[in-house]
Structure 1
Amino acid sequence: MLTSRRKFIRVLSLGTASALHPATAFLPFGTTVSPFGKKPLKADSAKRIILDSDTATDDALAILMAVTSPKLKVEAITITVGNVGFEQQTKNALYTIQVAGKKGQIPVYQGSSRPLVREIHGSATYVHGSDGMSDSFFPDPEQKPETEHAVDAMIRLVEKYPNEITIVAIGPLTNIALALLRKPSIAKQVKELYFMGGFYKFYGNVNPLATYNAWVDPEAARIVFQSGIPIRTVGFDVSVKSSVFTDEDYDNVAKLGTKHSDFFMKINKVRRKYCKEHQKMNGSNHPDAITVAAVIDPTIISQSVSRYVDVETHGELTVGALAIDELGVWKKEPNTTISVEADEAKFKKMVFDTLKLS
């Protein structure tokens, strides 16, 4: 049974997943305009989103921004394998909802606690602390996770709101790949998918050509990128260039004196130190948060390119790399809008506005 499952997923990851839904509504190669062409929501309507997360420090800020934004309707938070222990990630998401004052209003569903076919990679406690929240060790949240599996919830919600759901993936893509494997038809019903991962003419953070969220489960990432869902990436490069909170920014956050600002300061203690000492930044970057910010206000992304993207699943040195066909040598229509530049001032204002709320 295990062997047949592995073979089935391997075949899909090698190419037949593109049959799930042909890439449509994309502009010609080389365009710098977003290709998302599905029916827009009314101007006064909140975007329906599913936030798929491996909740640790930066995911927590992203969740805080999403659930407090009047421009988003968070239908679900789904938990995927990733940063720290699976149960701890679930608690982190639930506690963040509680901090946001939304206890009992946003359902949290647990999904896959391991990649599709690979062994669990370990954890990123060196970035996020042993509890994923910079060793803050918050009390257990009052809200509990739902009993329905995240994959089932994802399929149910996409079918309930066809062409209305935006999936915001700020962790590995395992849950989304599993949903596509179980119900391929949902690829045609997802409005768009924002993925925090990859980069454009930059460098990786787990190997020279890959970033964490694709590297953890590259087979899942390949299935998703070949599914035909309109995808926008907000990559590591964008976060390094436009989402870094400096010491001055932290001082200004501390001066706010709110519940949200205190939460931000606590959950970023370990991350702030790691980014400065090991990633040569002038502070801490916030890739998940700037991804959610782009969903809230797409004008935060000031430049993007449309390209065909595939995912490396076998490379000895490059597993998890997003292979961007810059010159169109594969002669395939673009399947991804890649964010290239973002408006740092707009992003930081959005974060500060969120932290001022409580």
Structure 2
Amino acid sequence: MEATRRQFLQAMAGTASASALAPVSALAKMRSEEPAAGRRRIILDTDTATDDAAAILLAMKAPTIKVEAITIVVGNVEFDQEAKNALYTLQVSGNAHKVPVFLGSSRPLLRPIHGDATYVHGKDGMSNSFFPDPEQKPEEEWAVDAMIRLIEAHPHEITIVAIGALTNVALLLLRKPSIAPLIQGITFMGGTYKFYGNVTPVATYNIWVDPEAAKIVFHSGVPITTVGFDVSVHSSIFTDADYERVAKLGTPLAKFFTEINKVRRVYCKEHQKMNGSNHPDAITTAIVIDPTIAMELLPRYCDVETQGELTRGAMLIDELGTMKQPPNVTVCAAADEKKFKEMMFRALS
């Protein structure tokens, strides 16, 4: 790991030149192309708690994508618990032993472990449900090595759907820089567009956890699409009426969804001024499944603040081009709430 950290510092010094080509977002391409005959391949990189579990359910039910692997990254709750949550969600959805789960980095690249978000997700990340241990166990192969192996086996075909911190993705790019052109794209849940943060006034959780990792990824040259906290607030909130509709479905998955969101529903209402629970990871994954859910995609130059006393983890979007850099990120600025919710209802039924 110390060698990897030295490589990280060297990479940080060269990030400014890495984004010179201004790649077109893979998601933007998907929206303008006819669906491929086969399903698109994804790696779902997750710090599995309540909303990540909903994202896994969507991904496993989707006819348009194939989940090649689930990789676990530092984030919402205790690391081993995140893995258990992912594995149990696969089991509940009827997919135990069908998708491998790999353990990645249990800490940020350079910083000490930040704590967790149990105040949003409950002590176990699943609203204090404390489900039994899953039947399936994590694979022995390290997540980063598995990601390299899969991307090399399917060049230009795999999209990384990153719904946690970007630590695993940054390590992938540091461990094998030549792999960047082989990645079809990265769709990342993080940042905001003309909105506020959810962990500080300006930063969102997934970048704040490991801003150095985000900076590497944003400057890697890989086509990146971000789906921000703002999109989730505007277009993914499940109100009490939505939960009533979920309850009427009466399925095991509907009951699972309601159970794991008990703590989140209360937190979002009492602390985030919402009229229900928002689902940023789920809507990010939904956009990969059906790119037409993304209603507004904006190519922008983006960077990440790593040093600011008050602004650590802020995603800076150069809206007016003052930094005179070509776009390196496609920012999703609006999404179709109705399409997202209907997809969620179908998955739960």
Output the TM-score relative to the length of structure 2.
0.96
Alignment of 1:201-212 (within 5 A): 201-212=194-205
CA shift digits 1:119-162 (9 cap, x unpaired): 00001000000000000010000001000000000011111111
2:292 equivalent among 299, 307, 311: 299
User: Which residue number corresponds to residue 140 of structure 1?
Assistant: 133
Report the AA paired with residue 11 of structure 2: L
Alignment of 1:1-358 (within 5 A): 2=2, 6-13=5-12, 15-17=13-15, 22-26=20-24, 36=29, 43-356=36-349
1:232 alignment partner, SS class:
strand
**Contact 1:76/1:109 (CA < 8 Å) preserved in 2?**
yes
**Contact 1:307/1:338 (CA < 8 Å) preserved in 2?**
yes
**Contact 1:304/1:338 (CA < 8 Å) preserved in 2?**
yes
1:74 alignment partner, SS class:
strand
Displacement of 1:22:
4.8
CA distance in 1, matches of 2:247, 2:133: 25
The 3 A distance-change label for structure 1 pair 346 and 154 is same
CA distance in 1, matches of 2:198, 2:27: 26
**Contact 1:200/1:338 (CA < 8 Å) preserved in 2?**
yes
The 3 A distance-change label for structure 1 pair 21 and 306 is closer
Displacement of 1:262:
0.5
The 3 A distance-change label for structure 1 pair 189 and 45 is same
**Contact 1:51/1:74 (CA < 8 Å) preserved in 2?**
yes
CA distance in 2, matches of 1:322, 1:354: 32
CA shift digits 1:138-197 (9 cap, x unpaired): 000000100000000001111111100000000000000001000001110100110000
Displacement of 1:88:
0.2
CA shift digits 1:202-242 (9 cap, x unpaired): 00011111100000000000000000010000000000000
Displacement of 1:44:
2.0
The 3 A distance-change label for structure 1 pair 137 and 34 is closer
**Contact 1:22/1:227 (CA < 8 Å) preserved in 2?**
no
CA distance in 1, matches of 2:4, 2:127: 37
CA distance in 2, matches of 1:5, 1:234: 29
CA distance in 2, matches of 1:202, 1:48: 31
1:288 alignment partner, SS class:
helix
The 3 A distance-change label for structure 1 pair 69 and 35 is closer
Q: How many residues align?
A: 349
CA distance in 2, matches of 1:165, 1:128: 29
User: Which residue number corresponds to residue 30 of structure 1?
Assistant: none
1:61 alignment partner, SS class:
helix
CA distance in 2, matches of 1:168, 1:296: 11
CA shift digits 1:54-100 (9 cap, x unpaired): 00000000001101111110000000000000000000000000011
2:191 alignment partner, SS class:
coil
Q: Percent identity?
A: 64
**Contact 1:25/1:36 (CA < 8 Å) preserved in 2?**
no
Query: Which stretch of the first structure deviates more once superposed, 41-50 or 111-120?
Result: 41-50
**Contact 2:71/2:104 (CA < 8 Å) preserved in 1?**
yes
Task: Flag structure 2 segments of 5+ consecutive residues without an equivalent.
Answer: none
Task: Flag structure 1 segments of 5+ consecutive residues without an equivalent.
Answer: 28-32
CA distance in 1, matches of 2:213, 2:116: 18
Displacement of 1:23:
2.9
The 3 A distance-change label for structure 1 pair 183 and 20 is farther
The 3 A distance-change label for structure 1 pair 276 and 205 is same
CA distance in 2, matches of 1:5, 1:169: 21
**Contact 1:18/1:228 (CA < 8 Å) preserved in 2?**
no
**Contact 1:58/1:288 (CA < 8 Å) preserved in 2?**
yes
**Contact 1:18/1:227 (CA < 8 Å) preserved in 2?**
no
Report the AA paired with residue 237 of structure 2: V
Displacement of 1:41:
8.5
**Contact 1:26/1:333 (CA < 8 Å) preserved in 2?**
no
